[in-house]
Amino acid sequence: MKSSTFALVCVVVAALVFAALRWYGNEYLFFAGYVVLQFIVLATAWNILGGYTGYVNFGSAAFFAVGAYSSIFFHKTFPLPIPVLIVIGGVFAGLVGLGMGYLTLRLRGAFFAIGTLALAVVLQTIITNWTYLGGSRGAYVIRPDEIALVGPYVQYLFLLMLGLAVIAIMVARGIEHSQLGYGFATIRDDELAAEASGVPTLKLKLIATTISGALMGMAGAPFPYYLGYVQPGTVFGLEYAVNSIAMPMIGGTTSWVGPLIGAILLASLQQWATVKFSSELGVLFVGVLLVVFVVLAPKGIVGLVEGWRRGKV
Amino acid sequence: MTAPLLEISGLGKRFGGFVALDGIDLAVAEGERVGLIGPNGSGKSTLVNCICGTLTNEVGSVRFAGESMSGLQAHQRTHRGLARSFQLPRPFTSLTVAGNLRVPLVYTVNARRGTHLSNAEMDARCAELLQLVGLAEKADHFSRDLTQVEMRKLELARAMAAEPKLLIADEAMAGLSQAEVADIVALLIDLNKRGITIILIEHIMRAVMSFSQRLVVLVSGKKIADGKPDVVIANPEVERAYLGQ
């Protein structure tokens, strides 16, 4: 499928989803749907680095938080419309991503993963002690109830996140089908051999960490407006780090479809568990599923389906 | 006299307290076929790694095609025309055999020429290279499903795909049958006739002797002999160190 056709399909699907929810008319669905979409963006973004190049990032929450806190900063100093804040959050988180990319100069495998975790801790410490951004007490954002054209504010946020999810998926698919994706795969398989074949591995890794980080930051930028209150413990929470890894792993890391399936499945399951039981149980579900998949189906749902199809042929 | 294609002078590399290479001087002229031999652990692969930028040498210099290689990363050296195969095959396991060959085509040949090879051109080039090393039937197999011997052939084909000026084949023939060794030697000599300078690292003496115009011997990180193969082989020091008493 050509990229333009694919983009059209994505937009049509997104429009149908929005129309269907509007028609159903339950405001809670937008509220829950926003979270699902946010995880589609996070999982897809994580996969661009973790799935395509094989560098595992444990610090997703930090990038999400950079996006969220850049919005807080501008909300306090110079209020801007949310789409602009999304771009700004993306730029900041992309820069942090670029910095993280330089870690890959010396760190590989588990050591890189630990490095990203350390990065998250450092950023959390900075934010917690930055009183202007609310420090450990957190920061409030008063948002309007309604917005022109769309109506209820939560629907507006939902729509923005829907757009971001479409962009993230198109970016991921675009990379996969391009020379860039080809180079990423060689890095995942064997970095030394990639260099010997002429692949500029450092440059490609920096591109991957920057795009991945920027998308995560973009997902975090509208978050303060969604919840109305942000504190470091929430946005740096384990939930984001674990989910952004678990969703692609469970869906399958080799293509853009995997994180999408994983995110829809797990985030919906979590939302359901949160309402029915408790949010802790939701995280437990993810943990158990992750263990099951890592042991039984390391290539995720996409891998299972591919194996099944190949078996039939 | 023209300057050599590859000029190594005073090259040294240590791993902690272990001196892997000690003051290596070596010049390879354009169009030459050089055999590099030495016992296991003598520093052959380390030398290749220092030439190609996989490792950084602490002292000495590597010049290639009149340009200093110091500070250049491995991929930049590949772009300038240095290609190597790895002693232990390192295929891109998630790609097909043909896909492996496309990597240097996309990232080196295109980058060097500033071209953009079409899919058909790349397919044709891959098919041609696989034909040369005898892997034509395996083009669409995943490289992880190849045997060790096939992986060695793929290593060689991938290095050739980068269209190098200097090709360094690091034990490309280990485990191959006599007939296959003869085929690969013939292939390398043919490549050499087309203008590619080749350094062959090999333990199979028959292959080295039939291939090399010049033989270089490394022992414990030092170059102990460099000259015509039959002369070098007859050198008592080489015999003692390498071939046994």
pLDDT at B1 over 70: no
Residue carrying structure tokens 């097909």 = B96
Residue B242: the pLDDT is: 66
Answer yes or no: is B236 within a domain: yes
The whole-number average pLDDT for the span B81-109 is 92
Residue B53 and residue A189: Cβ atoms within 8 Å?
no
| For testing contact with chain B, the best of A184, A197, A254 (most B CBs within 10 A) | A197
Residue A1: the pLDDT is: 76
pLDDT class for B244, splitting at 50, 70, 90?
A: low
Residue B17: the pLDDT is: 87
pLDDT class for A313, splitting at 50, 70, 90?
A: low
Mean pLDDT over the full length of chain A: 91
pLDDT class for B240, splitting at 50, 70, 90?
A: confident
CA atoms within 13 Å, Cβ hemisphere of B19: 11
Answer yes or no: is B53 within a domain: yes
Q: Indicate the range of A146-150, B38-42, B166-170 predicted with least confidence.
A: A146-150
pLDDT at B124 over 60: yes
- The verdict on B136 touching A (C-beta cutoff 8 Å) is no
Residue A192 and residue B86: Cβ atoms within 8 Å?
yes
Residue B243: the pLDDT is: 60
Answer yes or no: is B182 within a domain: yes
Q: How many domains would you assign to chain B?
A: 1
Answer yes or no: is B141 within a domain: yes
User: CA-CA distances (angstroms) from residue B211 to A253, B154, B187, B194, B228?
Assistant: 46, 20, 10, 15, 12
Largest CA distance in chain B: 57
- The verdict on B104 touching A (C-beta cutoff 8 Å) is yes
The whole-number average pLDDT for the span A95-118 is 88
Q: How many angstroms separate the CA atoms of A295 and A283, rounded?
A: 19
Phi, psi of B80 (to 5 degrees): -85, -5
* Contacting residues for A91 by C-beta, under 8 A, at least 6 apart: A214, A217
Residue A198 and residue B104: Cβ atoms within 8 Å?
yes
Residue A103: the pLDDT is: 80
What is the ipTM metric for this complex? 0.89
Residue A186 and residue B75: Cβ atoms within 8 Å?
no
Residues of B within 8 A of A189 (CB-CB) are: 91-95
Residue A41: the pLDDT is: 97
- The verdict on B152 touching A (C-beta cutoff 8 Å) is no
pLDDT class for B3, splitting at 50, 70, 90?
A: confident
Phi, psi of B170 (to 5 degrees): -95, 100
Residue B103 and residue A197: Cβ atoms within 8 Å?
yes
* Contacting residues for A294 by C-beta, under 8 A, at least 6 apart: A249
- A–B interface: beta-carbon pairs under 8 A: 79
Mean pLDDT over the full length of chain B: 90
Residue A186 and residue B95: Cβ atoms within 8 Å?
yes
Q: How many angstroms separate the CA atoms of A265 and A250, rounded?
A: 9
pLDDT at A149 over 90: no
Residue A107: the pLDDT is: 85
How many Cβ atoms are within 10 Å of A299's Cβ, its own excluded?
A: 16
Domains of chain A as residue ranges with CATH: 31-312 (1.10.3470)
pLDDT at B218 over 80: yes
pLDDT at A105 over 80: no
Residue B160: the pLDDT is: 92
Tell me the pLDDT tens digit for each residue of A50-75. 999 999 999 999 999 999 999 999 99
Answer yes or no: is B1 within a domain: no
Q: How many angstroms separate the CA atoms of A115 and A162, rounded?
A: 31
pLDDT class for A150, splitting at 50, 70, 90?
A: confident
Residues of B within 8 A of A197 (CB-CB) are: 75, 78, 103-104, 107-108, 158, 161-162
Query: Residue B170: which of A193, A190, A172 has the closest Cα?
Result: A193
- Percent of chain A clearing pLDDT 70 (strictly above): 99
pLDDT at B214 over 60: yes
**Amino acid of residue A178:** S
Residue A79: the pLDDT is: 87
Question: Which region holds residue B174: left if phi is over 0, alpha if psi is between -120 and 50, else beta?
Answer: beta
Residues of A within 8 A of B80 (CB-CB) are: none
Secondary structure letter of residue B243 according to DSSP: I
CB B35 within 8 A of CB B20: no
Q: How many angstroms separate the CA atoms of A298 and A292, rounded?
A: 9
Residues of A within 8 A of B165 (CB-CB) are: none
Residue A91: the pLDDT is: 97
Lookup: tokens for A247: 């969703």
Secondary structure letter of residue A198 according to DSSP: T
Tell me the pLDDT tens digit for each residue of A151-191. 888 999 999 999 999 999 999 999 998 999 999 999 999 99
pLDDT at B108 over 70: yes
Residue carrying structure tokens 């395509």 = A52
- The verdict on B60 touching A (C-beta cutoff 8 Å) is no
**Domain span holding position B235:** 6-243
Residue carrying structure tokens 């501008």 = A74
- The verdict on A183 touching B (C-beta cutoff 8 Å) is yes
Tell me the pLDDT tens digit for each residue of A217-267. 999 999 999 989 999 988 998 889 889 999 999 999 989 999 999 999 999
Residues of B within 8 A of A186 (CB-CB) are: 92, 95, 103
Strand A139-140 vs strand A229-230: parallel, antiparallel, or unpaired?
antiparallel
Tell me the pLDDT tens digit for each residue of B7-27. 999 999 999 889 899 999 999
| For testing contact with chain A, the best of B50, B95, B106 (most A CBs within 10 A) | B106
CB A246 within 8 A of CB A257: no
Answer yes or no: is B46 within a domain: yes
Q: How many angstroms separate the CA atoms of A106 and B239, rounded?
A: 42
Q: How many angstroms separate the CA atoms of A270 and B59, rounded?
A: 58
pLDDT class for A279, splitting at 50, 70, 90?
A: confident
- Which of A196-205, B128-137, B167-176, B203-212 has the highest average model confidence (pLDDT)? A196-205
Residue B54 and residue A186: Cβ atoms within 8 Å?
no
Task: Give the domain CATH number at B167.
Answer: 3.40.50.300
